[in-house]
Structure 1
Amino acid sequence: MIRERVRAAYRRIEQVDRPEVWIDLQPEDEVLAEAAALHVRFAAGEPLPLYGRLAAVKGNIDVAGLPTTAGCPAFAYRPAEDAPVVARLRAAGALVLGTTNLDQFATGLVGTRSPYGAVRNAVDPAYISGGSSSGSAVAVALGIADVALGTDTAGSGRVPAALNGIVGLKPTPGLLPTAGVVPACRSIDCVSIFARTVAEAELTLRCLAGPPFAGPGFAGGGPFRIGVPGSPGPLEDGWAEAFAAAVADYAAAGATVTTVDLSPFLSAARLLYEGSFVAERYTAVGEFLEKHPDEVDPNVAAIITAARALPAHRVFEDQATLAELKSEADAVLSTVDALLLPTTTGHPTLAEVAADPIGANAALGRFTNFANLLGLSALAVPAGTAGGLPFGVMFVGPAHADAKLAALARTVETRVRLAVVGAHLRGQPLNHELTSRGGRFVAAVSTAPEYHLHALATTPPKPGLVRVPAGGAAIAAEVWDLPVSGFGAFVAGVPAPLTIGRVLLADGSEVSGFLCEPVALDGAPDISGKGGWLAHLRS
C-alpha cells in the first residue's frame, strides 16, 4: 500500500506538470526502497505516527543527499545530514519526496522570486501561489505530498496556505529547532507545517516538537473567546464578506466574538521591514549577496542590501518600540483566547506582482508580519472561497497556545466536502438543497479519469456517475462543503438509485460525492464523452 502511494505521487507529479514546484526530487526507485524498509519497521510494531505520509521540504532546509539551495544555485551546498526537523519527520515514518522551490533566501510572500521559476497557484495558474514557502504549499494543495515543511519569518508558512486552500501552522518561535535551516532572520525564524487538515498539521507538529506542543495548562475544549478587528482595513473585493462569513461560522460553533484594537499588532508588523530588523537578513546572507550580485533576484537583493545604510542606534530604538508594542499586544491577547484575522489581504495575479513586485508583496504581510516579532503562535486555515479562489483566515495566540489554536480551528473544520456532477451544480434545479443546509461552493474540479457518466430517466433529469476499471473519463464536477449536521440531513434525503460514496478527484484527493447504483444504468445513455452534465445539457 505504501509503495503504491509513492508511485501515485510520482504519477501525480507528471500529471500536474508543475516543474517549478520542485528544486530537487528524490529518484522514485530510491523512495520506493525507503518505503519497503519503512514497512518492515512498521510491520515489526515500531511506533510510526506518520507512517506512509509523503513529505516535501522547503529548499532552505537541509535534506541529506540533496543540495540546499535557498533558491539560489550559486549558494548551494550538500549537507552531510538532515536538519533535525527532517530527521524527526523521517523518524516518525514520513518519506521525503524532495526539496521545493521558494522565494530566494526566504525573502518574499509572493512565490515568484526564484531562478527556478514562479510557482503558480494550485487552483488557478494565472495567480501567485504565495511565498516564500511556495513549492511546499502547492505540493500539498495538488495532492502530491501529504505534509510539507516550510519556514515562516514574516508569513511564509501562512500566506501560501491561504492562497492555495490548505492549512499552514506557524508554531511558537523556538518550539521547533531551526538548525540546518538557512536563516532569514535567525532570531525569529520558524519552521512551519503545511497539511490539508488541522488534525494532520497538529499530528506532524506533535511528532516534530514532542510534549512542549501542548503548552502550559491547556487541556482542550471551549467555549473560546475570539477577538476580531473593528475593521480589517483594505481587502480585495469580496474578501470582507468572506471574512464576515468565517467569523459568523465560529460564532455559530459557540465562540464568543469581541472587537479588539489591532493597532499594536499592525505597528509591530511595520517594524519588520520598515525598521532595523531587516538588518538581520543582511547578517544571514549579505556577504554572499555582495560577492554574487548577478546570482541574486533583484528584488531580494534590494530588500536585503538596503540594510547596509541602517545606523546601529536604530536597532535599539526599534527594540524599545517593539517592547512597548508587545506590552500593548499582550494586554489585548489577555482578553481573548485568540485573534481571528484574514490571513492576507488579497490574491494578486502573476502579472500584477510583476508590475509592482515590492508593493504587492508588502500588502500580503499586513496580518502576518507581526507574529514572530511578538513571539506569538499562529494557524492559518481555509475558510471557503472569494472570487472563485481559496480564502483563508488565521488564528493568532500567545506563545505556546499552539494546541489551543488547533482546537479552536477544529470547531468549524468539521465540515464535509461533497462532489456534485449534475442537478446540484450551481444554477441547476437542486442546488438549493445544498445552499439551504449551509453549503458553500469551494471549487470547480474534475474527477480522476476513472468514471463514466450516464443520463438517467429521472425527474428532474440527473446523471449517474460510476467508477469503471478501465476506459474511464474525467468528468466535470463541483466541490461544496457543508456543516456536518447539514451533510447528514442532505444524505438522508438522497433518493435511489443515487448514493453517496467516495469520489476520486483529478488532484488525487478523495471527497464524498454522488455515485449511482449500477442497476440503474440499463438503457441510460453514456454521456462521458461530453465531459460533464452541463456540456450534455448544452448539446
Structure 2
Amino acid sequence: MLPRILTIDELQARYRDGSLTPLQLVDEILRRITAGTDPAVWISRVPDAALRDAAQDLMRGAAPGADQPLWGIPFAVKDNIDCAGLDTTAACPAFAYRPPDDAAVVARLRAAGALLIGKTNLDQFATGLNGTRSPYGAPRSVFDARYISGGSSSGSAVAVASGQVCFSLGTDTAGSGRVPAAFNNLIGIKPTRGLLPTHGVVPACRSLDCVTVFAACTADADRVRRIAQGDDARDPYARTAPQQRLPTSGFRFAILKPSEREFFADAQSAQRYADAIARLTALGGMAVEFDYRPFRDAAALLYAGGFVAERLEPLRAFVEQHADTMDPVVRGIIGGAQGVSAAELFADFNALAALRRQAEKAWADFDLMLLPTAPTLYSVEQMQADPIRLNSRLGLYTNFVNLLDYCALAVPAGFRDDGLPFGVSLIAPAFHDDALAALGERLHRATQCGLGVDRSAAIAEPSAPIAVPADERIVIAVVGAHLSGMPLNRELTEPGGSLLRRARTAAHYRFYVLPDTTPKKPGLVQAPGFDGPGIDVELWSLPAAAFGRFVSRIPSPLGIGKLRLEDGSEVSGFLCEAHAVSGAQEITALGGWRAYIAGIQT
C-alpha cells in the first residue's frame, strides 16, 4: 500500500526491498488518475500501454543506481514544455504542435530514469496566476474544489498534491511556480534565472522565464532541480555560477512592515504570515523590517508597462492569425502589447534599473526575504467574475523576483481556520538556490503541515543532500561514536558542524567492534568483492578549518579515506586499518553502530 502522497525516498526504498516495481507503480498511478475528482489536471498523457512498456523497459535494464538517481520516479510536465511523443499546446488547441525532441530539462530527467506520465493544464500561454484561463478546464485546490489551484502551472501542482505523481515541472515568469505551491501545500522551487535551461519551453517572457519544480517536500524538489540544472548552448539565457552561502544561524531575514502587509482583508492569511515570522526566528533568524516600495514598484512593471510586449514577440504571427481561438482574457493581455512602443519599453528598462539600485541598497540590511507567496486565495467564481484585478493581487509578492534576478523557494506555512493552505516564500539574490533549499527544508519541517493533500503526513528525514554550498565546508561520513546522540558527537557540533543527511555505504564494507577502546568505537574496513548489507552512516558538514583540527585528533588505527555510498557517490569518512580488526567482533550483519549499541544496552 503506497502512501497518499508520493516521495522519492519512499518509492526508492520500496524498489530496493522488492515490495514495488515500476510496473506496479504505473498501475497504481493509472488507478489514481481514473479515480481522481478533478478532470482538468491533464491535457494529454502517455498512453497506458506505452507507459507500461516504459516501466518494463526500466525493469529489464540495470537496477537503480548512481547513474539513474530518479529510476522509476513518476513525473508530470506543464504543457508549455516539450516532451517528445506528446503535443505541446500551451493550453491553446489551435497552437498545438508535436515536438521532435524533449526540452533540455525533460531529457535530463528521463536520462536519470524518471518516468513521464503526461502533460498538465495551465493558464493559456502561461499568462495568469490563477489556473482558470484554459479551454481544458480549471484545476482546483486539492483542499476545496470551490477554490482556484493557482496558475499558471495549475495542473502540475494539483498532480503532485493529489498524489498522482512524485514531482512535476512548471514555469515561472511572474510567480507561476510559487503561487500554485502555496494553494496546494507544496514546495515550489523558482530557481535562479538560467540555472535550468529553457530550450524547448514555449516562451512567456523569454528573458525572465524559469523552469520550476513542484514536490511535496524540499528534499525531492531540490534533488530534481540539481539533476535538471546546467548550461545548454541552445539556450542563450542559460548560465552557471558558483552557489553562494547564507548563514545557518544568526541570518537576517526581511519582513514586511505592518503598514505594508496587504492581505486584502484576509485576517487568516495575515496571521499565518506572522506565525511564519515567529517560526523562522525560532530557527535562528533575526527579522528585519524593510521598505517594500522599490520591490512593489518593480513588480508593477511586469504587466502594467512595456515588459508585456515580450509576451507578444514569440506569438505575434499566431495572435494576428488566430486571435479568435485564444482565451479572451489572455488575448486581451498579450494582444494589448501591440500598442507598446519601443520608447515605452526603454522607459521601463530605465525605471527598472533605478529600482534595482534601490533594492541593492536594501540588501545591505538582510540576507534573505520572507514574504507571503500570495496575499489571499480566491474561489473560481470570484476569479472568473473579476479576472484581471484579482489575478494582479496574487502577484503582489512574486512579480518582482525575476525582474530583479532573485531565486525563490515557496514553502507551506500552515492552514487557515477554513482549511485552506497558506504559503510563504524565501527569496535571495541569484545563485543562493542551495542555501534556500537547506533553510526551506528546516522551515517546512518546523511547520508540520503535512504533504500536499495529506495534512497528517510526516516529513521524513531526507536521504538526499540538502546542503549549503561546500566552498568553505567539508563533508565527512561518521559511523560510530560521532553519530548524533553518541558520546563524541560534540566534536562535530561544537566547531559548527551540521548534520546533512543519513546514508548507507555500498555493499563492500565489513564492520567490527574495536577492542580496548573507550568509549567503544567501530572499525569500518573495505572488503572488495564482499556483498553485505551496507553500513549506516551520517554525513556531517564541517567548516574547513575545523575539519583539519578534527582529523588531526583521530587516533590510529582509524583514519579518513574515501567511502562509497550505496547511491554510487563518494565522500570522505572513517576507515580502519585492516590489521586492527584481526580477531575483533564483526557486527556487519547489524548494519550500523546504533543497532549494536542498542543490543548491548538491552
When normalised by structure 1's length, the TM-score is 0.76
- 1:371-382 mapped onto 2 (5 Å cutoff): 371-382=401-412
State the match for 1:75 in structure 2: 95
SS at match of 1:164: coil
The whole-number CA distance in structure 1 between the counterparts of 2:284 and 2:123 is: 39
The whole-number CA distance in structure 1 between the counterparts of 2:42 and 2:459 is: 34
The whole-number CA distance in structure 2 between the counterparts of 1:482 and 1:39 is: 29
Indicate how the Cα distance of structure 1 residues 94 and 353 shifts in structure 2: closer, same or farther if over 3 A, else same: same
What runs of 5+ residues in structure 1 fail to find an aligned partner?
418-439, 446-477, 485-539
Which is greater in Rg?
2
The answer to whether the aligner puts 1:234 opposite 2:254 as a matched pair is no
- 1:94-173 mapped onto 2 (5 Å cutoff): 94-173=114-193
Which one-letter code corresponds to 2:398 in the other structure? T
The answer to whether the aligner puts 1:400 opposite 2:431 as a matched pair is yes
Query: Which of the residues 16, 22, 32 maps onto 2:52?
Result: 32
The whole-number CA distance in structure 1 between the counterparts of 2:304 and 2:374 is: 18
Shift of 1:413: 2.3
The whole-number CA distance in structure 2 between the counterparts of 1:99 and 1:441 is: 26
Query: Which of the residues 329, 333, 355 maps onto 2:363?
Result: 333
The whole-number CA distance in structure 2 between the counterparts of 1:441 and 1:189 is: 30
Which one-letter code corresponds to 2:333 in the other structure? I
The answer to whether the Cα contact below 8 Å between 2:451 and 2:459 also exists between their aligned partners in 1 is no
The whole-number CA distance in structure 2 between the counterparts of 1:220 and 1:416 is: 21
The whole-number CA distance in structure 1 between the counterparts of 2:148 and 2:43 is: 18
**Relative to structure 2, which stretch is displaced further, 286-295 or 349-358?**
286-295
State the match for 1:424 in structure 2: none
The whole-number CA distance in structure 2 between the counterparts of 1:254 and 1:233 is: 23
State the match for 2:325 in structure 1: 295
- 1:114-513 mapped onto 2 (5 Å cutoff): 114-210=134-230, 215-218=242-245, 221-231=248-258, 232-235=260-263, 236-386=266-416, 387-415=418-446, 479=456
Task: Note the alpha carbon deviations across 1:489-528, whole angstroms, 9 max, x for none.
Answer: xxxxxxxxxxxxxxxxxxxxxxxxxxxxxxxxxxxxxxxx
Task: Note the alpha carbon deviations across 1:182-225, whole angstroms, 9 max, x for none.
Answer: 10001111101100011111000110115988843438833422
The whole-number CA distance in structure 1 between the counterparts of 2:127 and 2:378 is: 18
Indicate how the Cα distance of structure 1 residues 442 and 37 shifts in structure 2: closer, same or farther if over 3 A, else same: closer
SS at match of 1:179: coil
Shift of 1:443: 9.8
The answer to whether the Cα contact below 8 Å between 2:186 and 2:451 also exists between their aligned partners in 1 is no
The whole-number CA distance in structure 1 between the counterparts of 2:430 and 2:156 is: 25
Task: Note the alpha carbon deviations across 1:40-83, whole angstroms, 9 max, x for none.
Answer: 44427452111221100000000000000000000000000100
Please report the RMSD computed on the Cα atoms of aligned residues, expressed in angstroms: 2.3
SS at match of 2:403: coil
SS at match of 1:396: strand
State the match for 1:91 in structure 2: 111
Shift of 1:17: 3.0
Which one-letter code corresponds to 1:143 in the other structure? G
Indicate how the Cα distance of structure 1 residues 481 and 385 shifts in structure 2: closer, same or farther if over 3 A, else same: farther
Indicate how the Cα distance of structure 1 residues 42 and 147 shifts in structure 2: closer, same or farther if over 3 A, else same: farther
SS at match of 1:149: strand
Task: Note the alpha carbon deviations across 1:452-504, whole angstroms, 9 max, x for none.
Answer: xxxxxxxxxxxxxxxxxxxxxxxxxx7387999xxxxxxxxxxxxxxxxxxxx
Task: Note the alpha carbon deviations across 1:339-369, whole angstroms, 9 max, x for none.
Answer: 0000001110010011101111010000110
Indicate how the Cα distance of structure 1 residues 85 and 206 shifts in structure 2: closer, same or farther if over 3 A, else same: same
State the match for 2:596 in structure 1: none
Shift of 1:300: 0.2
The answer to whether the Cα contact below 8 Å between 2:279 and 2:446 also exists between their aligned partners in 1 is no
Which one-letter code corresponds to 1:360 in the other structure? L
The whole-number CA distance in structure 1 between the counterparts of 2:225 and 2:451 is: 27
The answer to whether the Cα contact below 8 Å between 1:388 and 1:443 also exists between their aligned partners in 2 is no
The answer to whether the Cα contact below 8 Å between 1:205 and 1:213 also exists between their aligned partners in 2 is no
The whole-number CA distance in structure 2 between the counterparts of 1:217 and 1:350 is: 40
SS at match of 1:13: helix
SS at match of 2:141: coil
Which one-letter code corresponds to 2:74 in the other structure? L
The whole-number CA distance in structure 2 between the counterparts of 1:316 and 1:210 is: 31
4+ runs of 1 displaced by more than 4 Å?
210-214, 440-445, 480-484
The whole-number CA distance in structure 2 between the counterparts of 1:348 and 1:245 is: 21
The answer to whether the Cα contact below 8 Å between 2:185 and 2:453 also exists between their aligned partners in 1 is no
Shift of 1:6: 1.5
The answer to whether the Cα contact below 8 Å between 2:243 and 2:434 also exists between their aligned partners in 1 is no
Shift of 1:19: 2.1
Indicate how the Cα distance of structure 1 residues 92 and 214 shifts in structure 2: closer, same or farther if over 3 A, else same: farther
Which one-letter code corresponds to 2:212 in the other structure? S
Indicate how the Cα distance of structure 1 residues 155 and 219 shifts in structure 2: closer, same or farther if over 3 A, else same: closer
Shift of 1:7: 1.3
**Relative to structure 2, which stretch is displaced further, 365-374 or 223-232?**
223-232
What runs of 5+ residues in structure 2 fail to find an aligned partner?
1-19, 232-238, 462-602
The whole-number CA distance in structure 1 between the counterparts of 2:195 and 2:317 is: 29
Shift of 1:416: 8.3
The answer to whether the Cα contact below 8 Å between 2:162 and 2:452 also exists between their aligned partners in 1 is no
The whole-number CA distance in structure 2 between the counterparts of 1:164 and 1:130 is: 8
The answer to whether the Cα contact below 8 Å between 1:168 and 1:193 also exists between their aligned partners in 2 is yes
The answer to whether the Cα contact below 8 Å between 1:215 and 1:403 also exists between their aligned partners in 2 is no
Indicate how the Cα distance of structure 1 residues 480 and 237 shifts in structure 2: closer, same or farther if over 3 A, else same: farther
Indicate how the Cα distance of structure 1 residues 242 and 7 shifts in structure 2: closer, same or farther if over 3 A, else same: same
Seq. identity, %: 48
Shift of 1:274: 0.6
SS at match of 1:288: helix
Which one-letter code corresponds to 1:337 in the other structure? D
The whole-number CA distance in structure 2 between the counterparts of 1:482 and 1:67 is: 36
Indicate how the Cα distance of structure 1 residues 98 and 482 shifts in structure 2: closer, same or farther if over 3 A, else same: closer
The whole-number CA distance in structure 2 between the counterparts of 1:45 and 1:343 is: 37
Shift of 1:293: 2.0
When normalised by structure 2's length, the TM-score is 0.68
Indicate how the Cα distance of structure 1 residues 189 and 265 shifts in structure 2: closer, same or farther if over 3 A, else same: same
State the match for 1:534 in structure 2: none
The whole-number CA distance in structure 2 between the counterparts of 1:482 and 1:194 is: 16
The whole-number CA distance in structure 2 between the counterparts of 1:247 and 1:94 is: 36
